[in-house]
């Protein structure tokens, strides 16, 4: 639920940043026309033909005959120098007062909108490229029948009707009976590993337990300095049954599923034709075992009918690996 205050804050900042350019746009497009007389200008420095630190005051009269006085904005160098000579200057009057020279006199103020426009375009691209495809896939899986789980770090594993399937616990200590599984061929990792901090290694363990409190499986997430992170699927007794290893040859979001002897049981990676916020698990024969997609901070996982139990558990472990912060 924290995302809603953050979205609200982002909207407030966006509106505040865009307010001044929006007011100027309204002034130049719909502001009331008037003729001004500049009485006095003080200021230093110029930006092109326009003063950046100039304050000019004068009087003006609208086409309807209404009069006003005060500060006049957007004057160029010649108009500022000519202050006090009773020369007429056309202006537009908006919510913030009279502005001279239209867009040309205040173009530099619109530069404040450029970062917001670029950010907006980037957000639209990210939403269309990553968020919406994953959301549509997740919603289609929720609407379909079958073995579907909704997984999150806070709520654990639940069914689409929000009934509990299993709970999730995280610990730095291994489960009782834990046995280590180390296979040769782990790829080196040259990027920064901030979750390690000053440590050389960091292991985290997650326990998946049913509603009666009985362990269904454990997942070991391990990060070692200079090596790619790995994830080990453990049975309820703590014995390793499968190793999830990054497939660095295929890309950063692909994995190989290895048995305790190093044999390949399957592969995992982004769903075909989609992006990294989705996941597709395939068995050794290439058949799809499970599909997952992100939906508003949760992961929706659909297990295919007839999926081998080990690969079913591996699919859950892969989703849990996506939810935990480890590098």
Q: Examine the pLDDT at 173 and tell me if it is beyond 50.
A: yes
Q: How many CA atoms lie within 13 A of 308 on its CB side?
A: 13
For the chain, give me the number of helices (H) and strands (E)? 6, 19
- Cα separation, 218 vs 238, in Å, equals 7
The residue-averaged pLDDT of 79-107 equals 84
* Segment 145-154, tens digit of pLDDT: 889 999 999 9
Token pair, residue 17, equals: 């940043």
What pLDDT, on the 0 to 100 scale, is given for residue 52?
Answer: 52
The residue-averaged pLDDT of 59-63 equals 92
Strand order in the sheet with 67-72: 67-72, 55-62, 32-42, 88-94, 97-100
- Cα separation, 51 vs 76, in Å, equals 6
* Segment 222-244, tens digit of pLDDT: 999 999 999 999 999 999 999 99
Q: How many CA atoms lie within 13 A of 132 on its CB side?
A: 7
- Cα separation, 250 vs 228, in Å, equals 14
- Cβ-based neighbours of 63, under 8 Å, separated by 6 or more: 32, 33, 34
What pLDDT, on the 0 to 100 scale, is given for residue 174?
Answer: 95
């Amino acid at each position: 639920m924290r995302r809603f205050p953050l979205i609200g804050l982002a909207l407030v900042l966006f509106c505040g940043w865009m307010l001044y350019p929006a007011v100027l746009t309204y002034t130049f497009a719909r502001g009331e026309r008037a003729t001004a007389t500049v009485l006095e200008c003080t200021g230093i420095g110029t930006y092109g033909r326009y003063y950046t630190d100039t304050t000019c005051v004068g009087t003006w009269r609208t086409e309807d005959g209404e009069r006003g006085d005060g500060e006049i904005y957007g004057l160029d160098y010649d108009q500022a120098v000519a202050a006090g000579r009773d020369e007429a200057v056309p202006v537009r009057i908006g919510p913030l007062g009279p502005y001279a020279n239209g867009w040309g006199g205040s173009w530099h103020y619109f530069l404040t909108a450029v970062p917001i426009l670029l950010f907006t375009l980037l957000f639209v691209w990210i939403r269309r490229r990553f968020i919406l495809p994953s959301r549509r896939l997740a919603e289609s899986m929720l609407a379909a029948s079958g073995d579907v789980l909704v997984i999150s770090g806070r709520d654990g594993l639940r069914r689409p009707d929000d009934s509990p399937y299993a709970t999730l616990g995280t610990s730095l200590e291994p489960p009782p009976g834990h046995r280590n599984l180390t296979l040769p061929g782990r790829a080196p990792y040259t990027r920064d590993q901030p979750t390690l901090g000053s440590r050389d290694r960091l292991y985290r363990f997650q326990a998946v337990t049913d509603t009666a409190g009985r362990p269904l499986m454990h997942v070991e997430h391990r990060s070692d300095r200079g090596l790619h992170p790995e994830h080990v699927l453990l049975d309820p007794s703590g014995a390793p049954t499968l190793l999830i290893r990054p497939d660095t040859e295929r890309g950063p979001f692909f994995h190989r599923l290895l048995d305790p002897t190093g044999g390949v049981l399957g592969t995992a990676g982004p769903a075909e034709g989609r992006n990294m916020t989705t996941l597709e698990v395939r068995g050794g024969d290439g058949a799809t075992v499970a599909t997952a997609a992100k939906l508003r901070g949760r992961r929706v996982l659909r297990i295919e009918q007839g999926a081998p139990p080990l690969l079913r558990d591996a699919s859950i472990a892969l989703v849990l690996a996506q939810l935990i912060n480890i590098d």
